[in-house]
Amino acid sequence: MTGTHTTDVSHIAPREKAEILSQALPYIRKFHGKTIVIKYGGNAMTDPALQQDFAEDVVLLKLVGLNPVVVHGGGPQIEGALSRLGKKGEFIQGMRVTDAETMEVVEWVLAGQVQQDIVGLINVAGGKAVGLTGRDGGMIRAKKLKMVDMKDPSKEYDVGQVGDIESIDPSVVQALQDDQFIPVVSPIGFGADNESYNINADVVAGKLAEVLQAEKLVLLTNTPGVLDKEGKLITDLSAKEIDAMFADGTLHGGMLPKIASALDAARAGVKAVHIIDGRVPHSMLLEILTDQAYGTMIRSR
């Protein structure tokens, strides 16, 4: 991607521009010096215009004194690479079965292609991004994920090199943050024998937010946020209300793992978790720095 683009704000009246900026000020003051972990995925990651918006938002957050840390996924990109190699992806209960050959592809796609694309985008937008995997600085120690059958708990599946996080050492991320860099993390961990593990990016983002004692965890998704039974957006939720939504079946499907890591992070002290629509240009900036809700905020209390 070459060149830079500026957001055209000429259609906004000066009074409205002033209104937007003055609305951002209390939030900038409140979150100055605080860490924000952002899980980057969905359309925001594959649409070139949204990619650029995302990179600009991350750079702006850094410039006004917040400390963004980006964790990215890459399911569609992995799928594309595997199919080019003539390898068919196999899934058990929504989890990709990752044999040694697939793991090689996963590492190459996530840490090579996807991560470096994001680093490049942020750098072009005026930031200083640095790519990391869980190996760097011994950050993410993992063990093999034990997958139990949903219907029969006595039955276990072998999903290969899919990992469960044992521990996270955030010192490499903290060192970079203190030095004005923006860390971009690929969700790959390493085991006791130096083997690689593919870990769910939502889970990595949630756990990283916990150990960094982040002010916020932001999950960019392809949905407007958490919807009620009528399909209306719920902008504000507590952990207790989410438990009730699990119980009565309002929450199901692809939203479950996302909400589960959001809930864990909120319970472990991350003050607010935002599930926001990555298809809306600059939704992240608007959610963090204005009164306007562009998704669902889950409060820790």
Residue found under tokens 């943050």: 177
Residue 194 labeled ligand binder: no
Q: Is 134 marked within a binding site?
A: no
The structure tokens listed for 216 are: 């916020």
- Confirm whether residue 94 is marked as ligand binding: no
CA–CA distance, 281 with 101 (Å, rounded to integer): 37
52/23 Cα distance (integer angstroms)? 24
Compute the radius of gyration of the chain from its Cα atoms.
19
> Among 79, 81, 74, which residue's Cα sits nearest to residue 89?
79
Place of tokens 């985008």: 121
Check whether 198 is labelled as a binding-site residue.
yes
Residues in the annotated binding site for substrate: 74-75, 96, 198
Residues of the binding site: 74-75, 96, 198
